[in-house]
Amino acid sequence: MKKFGKLTCFVIKKKYLIATLFAVLFVISSVGVFFIAKTAKASTYISTIVIDAGHGGIDGGSIGYSGTIEKDINLEYSKTLKSMCSEFGFKVVMTRSNDSGLYSPFAVNKKKDDMKKRKQIIERAKPDIVISIHMNSTKGNTSRGAQVFYNKENEHSIKLANSIQKQFQDKLIKPRKTSQSGDYYIINCTPYPSVIVECGFLSNKEEEKLLLTNDYKNNVCYSILCGIIDYMV
């Protein structure tokens, strides 16, 4: 095992993992979408992943070109990613699994309380990595592309972000060219390797339509899974 300070990250040999991956995945290539076989199990190595579905409750996040609410699609993608990671053999902890926010109804600052609760979930889980799922948005409607954000002070976060972004480059339609550093609470609040995955721009009419399809959702989540595996090799 490879140790990062107080953290322990399970390291899986590349040859073993690649062989396992082919045994685990059932590939449908007609539209470039990949699915995890339901009978799959990765290996005897168990790594813990926290999947954070961004926003929730009264915090809807951004609103898409046609009215898509970010918190809803974040949760859909997070659940799909959880299913894929679980089928591969990872232990998965979700910060939220329904529409409810994590804040106390009595909290004065519900956003702050919500983020504090997410931090507590991460700390209790002691994960190998944290993936926070979001959708991007801008005032204009031309920006598009999936992109991963990392804490520039955490070298393992940088490696994880680059691994996922590379998979986006290989598998998605017009992703951003590179991952990018960002100063966000969820990737700064703990020492665990953490990234924010912006799956695409809801403000872009074409990309919003794409993000709402099951095929594209599965492809994005599969790309994230491949990036996680690549990071752990």
CATH number for the domain spanning 37: value is 3.40.630.40
| Model pLDDT, residue 45 | 52
| Model pLDDT, residue 190 | 98
What's the total number of domains in the chain?
1
Regions in the chain scoring below 70 on pLDDT: 1-45
d(CA 61, CA 70): 5
pTM of the model: 0.83
CA of 153: how far to CAs of 31, 188, 191, 194, in Å?
38, 9, 10, 11
| Model pLDDT, residue 16 | 38
SS3 content of the chain, % helix, strand, coil (to 5): 40, 20, 40
Domain that residue 67 falls in: 2-232
d(CA 165, CA 4): 22
